[in-house]
Amino acid sequence: MEVKDVMEIGNLAECLGSLLAIGCVWWQLDYDKKCKYRQELADKQAMKEQHLRSYQGHLQNVRTRLMTFNNRIIGNYKNHQKFSNSEVIF
């Protein structure tokens, strides 16, 4: 081998080393970006689940109020029927 060939091999090795370093940095940046994206997705999902639980609680409260109101109306109607069907004696 000549000195020229050895220098070319050295230059190629240096270029490959630089490319490998760039590739590692790029991979790390891409990995960090994916991790950040996954974390954002997890945060959004947790927020959606929290809103859903809150909304379900609100719906349960509305349902309870409606059932109470409905029972009052039914009770008032039944009481009204009792008194309207009974005979009034003076």
State pLDDT tens for residues 1-58.
Answer: 676 777 788 888 888 888 899 889 999 999 999 999 999 999 999 999 999 999 999 9
Residue 74 above 90 pLDDT? no
> In the prediction, which pLDDT does 90 show?
47
Question: What does the H/E/C string look like for 19-71?
Answer: HHHHHHHHHHHHHHHHHHHHHHHHHHHHHHHHHHHHHHHHHHHHHHHHHHHHH
